[in-house]
Amino acid sequence: MSGQKVLVLCLAVTAVVLLAAVAFTTPWRPLPDVPGGATAPDAARDFSAAEIARGRALAEQARPPVYLAMALSLAVTLLLGLTPLGARLVTAVARPFGGGWVWQVLLGGLALLVVGRLVALPFDARLEVVRRRHGLSVQTWPGWWLDLAKGFAMSSGLLLAVLVAFFALLRHWPRAAWPIAAGAGALLVVAISFLYPLLVEPAFNKFHPMPDGPLRTSLMQLAEKDGVPVEDVLVADASRRTTALNAYVSGFGSTRRIVVYDTTVQTATAREIELITAHELGHAKRNDVLHGTLIGAAGLAAGVCAAGLLVTWQPLLRRAGADSAADPRALALLMAVVAVVATLSGPAQMLISRRLETRADVHALDLTRDPEGMIAMQRRLALANRSNLTPNPVLHVLFGSHPATVDRIALARDWARLHGEPVPASPRP
């Protein structure tokens, strides 16, 4: 069987697995239809005009640096990958070290990553200025640079190691390399997700168990009531970077843990923290991290096969100045194809994420039976995090990982109507 036929078969199999997993495991309707129709989201019902304007102002100022960084990074990646410029850069940086294929992959890959990072850097700095201006960031510039350097070092180090192994496969088993890489990549996604709480998170935050007291006791009792085994609830020292409130669940199996920002512990009420934790327990009970990991693994496998079809296409190789996919000069083309595949798959990933977040909200309501408290909590989070309460619908579909605040508040009112509870009034003073 030819290499192209192997890739077509690989793509067909992985795509079917991915589509089936998404179709049958994504909670498309976390809440049943409400008699009389769903509550219409209305920011003005629960927030003042000044509060709405404040969130909109931050969004309008943050949008240009965020989207310009994304657009320019993609444009530069395509320029390097779809012209001989990338191949020349890969060859030039490896020449002082003998120009061997390993040096081309390591130094050429690093050069391509550095160029992409430098293009986005001014816009990232601008976004940090905007966040400081609106009181969201309290991080020092040395701390910001250190986080940037650590993030780049960890991600690029892992990627370069993967690229060396991948090009070694291509050179020795050109036909089998892509299916092998698809399977190995899927396993790597699972391993990274499992180890992330142990290896990555501690590099950026310090964690300590929530101190003994009424709050910790109530959260552990809530987890016990929910039937979710939780050994502890950890508190992250997020306050040295931000004033935002947050909590999350990461890892799965023996590395699963629920983390609450210290800003949340310090400023939210005990009931609000319970409701936030109930949402995270929803993720833990439904194994959403594992679910997302497996979907991501299947998506990566399909993406590798799709990338293989494009990178082995001779017209693209000639345009990129490479002889074959195993030629390290094709590295820039490979990165460009991966960037395009990742960009195109982004909206689907965001859609799945929003469905999982909605299901976790429903779980929190089922567990606490407190729609009024849920609405008050969502209001506090939105104000503390300077959320945009009237997001652009198109941008939200493309890039929103969570439902909009007004949608989550409307969901709480729909839950109350569905369960015969009094519909909460506006918590706005």
- In terms of DSSP bridges, do strands 233-236 and 257-261 run parallel, antiparallel, or are they unpaired? parallel
Sign, CA torsion 414/417/419/425? positive
Can 224 be counted among the known catalytic residues? no
Is position 283 annotated in a ligand binding site? yes
Cα separation, 306 vs 210, in Å, equals 46
Q: Where are the alpha helices (DSSP H) in 173-252?
A: 177-199, 214-226
Q: Which of 262, 280, 407, 414 is catalytic?
A: 280
Q: Which of 51, 274, 361, 414 is catalytic?
A: 361
- In terms of DSSP bridges, do strands 207-209 and 233-236 run parallel, antiparallel, or are they unpaired? antiparallel
Cα Rg for the chain, rounded, in angstroms? Answer: 24
Residue 97 is given by DSSP the state G
Is position 421 annotated in a ligand binding site? no
Is position 279 annotated in a ligand binding site? yes
Cα separation, 260 vs 357, in Å, equals 17
Can 232 be counted among the known catalytic residues? no
Cα separation, 137 vs 129, in Å, equals 8
> One-letter amino acid identity for 371?
P
Q: Which residue has the tokens 């976790």?
A: 360
| Interhelix angle 49-81/331-368, nearest 10 degrees | 150
Binding residues for Zn(2+): 279, 283, 357
Catalytic residues: 280, 361
Q: Which residues fall in the annotated binding site?
A: 279, 283, 357
